[in-house]
Amino acid sequence: MSLFARTVLILALAFLYAPIGVLIVYSFNASKLVTVWGGFSTEWYGVLSRDGPLIAAALVSLKVALLSASIAGVLGTCAALALDRHGRFRGRGAYTGLLYAPMVMPEVITGLSLLLLFVGIGLDRGIGTLVIAHATFATGFVAVVVGARLKGLDRSLEEAAADLGAGPARVFFGITLPLIAPSVAAGFLLAFTLSLDDLVIASFVSGPGATTLPMRIYSQVRLGVNPEINAASTLLIAAVGLVVLAASWLTGRRGAAA
Amino acid sequence: MAVDGVSFDLAGGEFFCLLGPSGCGKSTLLRMVAGFETPDSGTIRLGETDLTALPPHRRPVNMMFQSYALFPHMSVAANLAYGLKGLGLGRTQSAERVKALLRLVRLEGFEARRPDKLSGGQRQRVALARALAREPRLLLLDEPLGALDRALREETQGELRAIQRRLGTSFVVVTHDAEEAMALADRIGVMERGRLVQVGPARELYERPASRYVAGLLGDVNLIDGRLGRAEPGGVRGVETALGLLRASGEGEAGNAVVVAIRPERLVVSGEGEGEGDDLSGRLRGRLTEATFLGDRIRYRVEMANGSTLRASAVLPASGPIPAVGETVAVAVPADAARILPA
Amino acid sequence: MRGPSRRLSQRLGRGFVRGLPFLWLALFFLVPFAVTLKISFSSPATAQPPYLPVLEWDGGLEGWREFFEALDFQNYQMIAADALYRDAALSSLGYAALATAILVLIGTPTAYAMARASARWQPILVALVIVPFWTSFLIRVYAWIAILKPEGLLNAALIKLGLIAAPLPILDSPFGVLIGLTYAYLPFMVLPLYAVMSRLDPALTEAAADLGAGRARAFFTVTLPLSLPGLAAGALLCFIPMVGEFIIPDLLGGSDTLMLGRVLWSEFFSNRDWPLASAVAVLLLILVVGPVVLFREAELRREEAAEGAQR
């Protein structure tokens, strides 16, 4: 690789990881100040483990993430299948637009509009509305991940199954689904992380007793840098790192399966 | 090692083919000449110029890519003109050169077309024309006819030869198709696992291959193991084989293990009692197991006493009666047809 | 095909698969826009919900008429009259455009370098770029506070190196917002661009070199034009959400960094003026949909021009 390319990559990656590095390092800083290194300490992790509201918020976030990612997984897979298999159906352009729009729409818009809908139909805000909101914007992401896998799928496998007497349902559940399963799982993980991370939409559609982790962190963070939050961030980063590893392992596996 | 100890000289105006199966290193060798791979040692010289250290865009060598690599976002004319930038041609001169190139490959009027609106054969011709735009002294072609169907391929082979002869440019074509190599090249270089194992005109390689590998590469051949007898005046000597004593031409030390190579079309198959004639090294006896009609010839499979099979073919219409399957037949091996190869 | 019943069940199955996500998204994405639009024509009230009028479903035709009469353009008039909203809109567009432009400049060499890396390294590089993308947005922006604030790392380092005497007020300033936007959206620019660049036939750049083009010329005449779809996708993927961005201006910008996302938020949460917030949302939506529509138009016109050149 040329020197230019190598330099660009190192600079870009340094830029991307500098803040993350800062967080991790300072979560172990005994001193509260960023510019002073007070020695290595896991004190803040201890504070974190005793922070009731924060842990409660984390549990809420996990619950919402699991539920919304499951829904998004099903919806996104269906949409990906429809786009890949159903050819030029009527309204395909609008369908695609509807699927991908929530991915780019500014979150304040989706958050506000969803809240207004919930209020309008008299739905109580809480975990339920959070799940609905997160599933809505995550569906597009799942569709992209699964759609990419579907495009590369060798159709002759399904055709062979049909030739040997399997009906459409059997072909789908016995052949197609196992082959795309790693991508569906990767999509699920992506939706899960997106839900865990969401602040803006959650702020709008959440209700009493359903404070999510980002909401809690945000309320702390508005007051300034907080070493306990550094510790929480480091844990989150570690968790995400594991999830990304799992997801890339899953999407990489298809080479062996197919 | 992809390419190992390869060395040869190319004459000006020569049409040369590198022949070998996939993985033999022929494409790597070609890319080294073009500048896309760097040899660990050795030099590449064009006339007096040493190309080895030059990057690809500064070599007076051009390449026609296997995938054609036509720039999809440019018209045919723009593709052809791409290489002309930096040559100091004015706009009119450039346009004229493009026109001449299109005429050369018989695609006049295609200037404004996009590559995705061309047929496979047309794309191939644009790729060729583009590679000739800078009038290189050496043109490298990576499996140029691979993507074409059979009929088109033969027609294009003729066109390629005609263009090469007209321009006088040296061509090096890489192919895995022996028939194509023989149709196109003045000389063929056979590669095996990174090494250049034999170089010569098609006829020489076909009739006097240096090894079983080369023999098998250029066409179907019967290979019979044996032990070499004493040297005799005249070049023809005996080889003791499982099928009996065969007479073949070639070199080697008496007592060596060798292989006798005979092309199917040289074997003469006839029913028992037929086919005399002099100059026969010997007539072998076997049972005809297959006689396949292939239009212009008939292909025989004869099972010999020791279980081995000889393949033979005869031109149609046959000069004598065609033996029936299951019959015992005589297989004559003319002495000049059998070649001694190292084991 | 084994008879009409089989075909019908297959069609029903397909319809279900296609329709399920469609219905969900129509209900939870499209309908809310209609509701927002309606509320943008309402007036605030101290009630639950805090707006008037509320449509009574059993009010009959009379109820509908009263409902529609109570709607007005008051909120939009307020937006048009107050320079705050215009400034916020322009400022949002400005930040988004500038940050997107910076990202194009940074992202293109980065994606190109990634695409040219060896086959062994590419998946690793992609994973390295993805990890920040999946890591909490909020946390990553928060981390910049620690770096950019007056007592933060950057200023401390610069002072120690003797480059400046007093800390630079990067935090709570437009620079902070720009840095934050550029940082947070870098993966969104790099990944689609990389996806396109890595799929280009490498023979194309080799052919360009073979035909005499040096590395720079080959990049600008072959690689870049063929990567434009990826570049456009990345630019849109960044620009659109940036216009309505809230977290970055809130955490890294000062009280004078006006962006529509913040305006909407404060109208909603601080002023409890839902109708006005809805009107701002509609404004933001128009601002955001505009570039997409223009982009589609340009794309269609480009395709038509290409067709025309054939004839």
Q: pLDDT averaged over consecutive 10-residue blocks of chain C (311 residues)?
A: 60 86 93 89 75 67 73 82 88 94 94 89 86 83 85 82 80 88 92 90 92 91 92 90 92 85 90 88 88 79 69 50
Total tally of structural domains belonging to chain A = 1
Whether C248 contacts C177, CB under 8 Å: yes
Q: Which tens digit of pLDDT belongs to each residue from A12-25?
A: 999 999 888 888 88
Domain presence at residue C52: no
Domain presence at residue C54: no
Chain A residues with beta carbon closer than 8 angstroms to that of C25: 75, 98-99, 102, 136, 139
* Closest Cα in chain A to C179: A15
CATH topology of domain B220-342: OB fold (Dihydrolipoamide Acetyltransferase, E2P) (2.40.50)
Domain presence at residue A27: no
Which subunits count as partners of chain C given 3+ CB pairs below 8 Å?
A: A, B
Residue B69 has its nearest CB partner, among C206, C212, C217, at C206
State residue A170's pLDDT score.
83
State residue B279's pLDDT score.
38
Domain presence at residue C243: yes
| Averaged pLDDT of chain A | 86
Q: pTM (2 decimals)?
A: 0.80
Confidence bin at B18 (pLDDT 50/70/90): very high
Provide the shortest C-alpha distance from residue C4 to chain A (in Å). 15
C71 SS3 class: coil
- Ranges of each domain in chain B: 15-215, 220-342
- Whether there are 3 or more C-beta pairs closer than 8 Å between B and A is no
Q: Which tens digit of pLDDT belongs to each residue from B264-278?
A: 999 988 886 555 544
Chain C residues with beta carbon closer than 8 angstroms to that of A23: 139, 143, 146
C137 CB near a chain A CB, below 8 Å?
yes
* Closest Cα in chain C to B135: C211
Task: Provide the percentage of residues in chain B whose pLDDT is more than 90.
Answer: 56
CB contact under 8 A, C212 and B34: no
Chains B & C: contacts with CB separation below 8 Å = 69
State residue A257's pLDDT score.
39
Residue C25 has its nearest CB partner, among A86, A99, A108, at A99
State residue B278's pLDDT score.
40
**Ramachandran region of residue B109, left (φ > 0), alpha (ψ -120 to 50) or beta?**
left
Average pLDDT over residues B300-307: 91
d(CA B147, CA A1): 32
Domain presence at residue C184: yes
Dmax (CA) of chain B: 78
Class of B15-215 per CATH?
Answer: alpha beta
C140 CB near a chain A CB, below 8 Å?
yes
CB contact under 8 A, C210 and B85: no
CATH of the domain at A228: 1.10.3720.10
pLDDT at B124 over 90: yes
State residue A201's pLDDT score.
94
Tell me the sheet residues that pair with B18.
B174, B189
Range of the domain at A104: 58-257
The ipTM is 0.85
B55-60, long-range: CB < 8 A, 24+ apart: B55/C209, B56/C206, B56/C209, B56/C210, B57/C208, B57/C209, B57/C210, B57/C211, B57/C212, B57/C213, B57/C214, B57/C218, B58/C212, B59/B34, B59/B35, B60/B134, B60/B136, B60/B137, B60/B138
- The phi and psi torsions of B148 (rounded to 5 degrees) equal -95, 150
* Closest Cα in chain C to A1: C117
Range of the domain at C122: 83-310
Q: Which tens digit of pLDDT belongs to each residue from B52-67?
A: 888 888 889 999 999 8
Domain presence at residue A215: yes
| Averaged pLDDT of chain B | 89
- Secondary element (H or E) of residue A257: helix A227-257
**C-interface mutation test, from B57, B87, B142, most C Cβ less than 10 A away:** B57
B313 SS3 class: strand
d(CA B169, CA B161): 11
Smallest Cα–Cα separation from B333: which of B305, B307, B311?
Answer: B311
Domain presence at residue C176: yes
d(CA A147, CA C95): 33
C224-243 vs C274-310: helix crossing angle, rounded to 10: 170
Residue A9 has its nearest CB partner, among C113, C118, C135, at C113
* Closest Cα in chain C to B116: C310
Residues of C contacting chain B (CB within 8 angstroms): 201, 203-204, 206-214, 217-218, 221-222, 225-226, 306, 309-310
- The 8-class DSSP code of residue A176 comes to I
Q: Which tens digit of pLDDT belongs to each residue from B318-338?
A: 777 888 899 888 888 887 889
Provide the shortest C-alpha distance from residue C280 to chain A (in Å). 9
Alpha helices, H only, chain B: 26-34, 76-82, 91-104, 120-132, 150-167, 178-184, 202-207, 212-217
CB contact under 8 A, C206 and B65: yes
CATH of the domain at C129: 1.10.3720.10
Provide the shortest C-alpha distance from residue A86 to chain C (in Å). 8
What is the residue-wise DSSP string for B248-271? EE----TT-EEEEEE-GGG-EEEE
CB contact under 8 A, A116 and C137: no
Alpha helices, H only, chain C: 4-25, 31-40, 60-70, 74-81, 83-115, 121-134, 137-148, 153-160, 174-198, 202-210, 215-218, 224-243, 247-252, 260-265, 274-310
Domain presence at residue C33: no
Domain presence at residue C77: no
Low-confidence ranges of chain A (pLDDT < 50): 254-258
CB contact under 8 A, A199 and C110: no
Total tally of structural domains belonging to chain C = 1
What tokens appear for A25 in the block? 């390092």
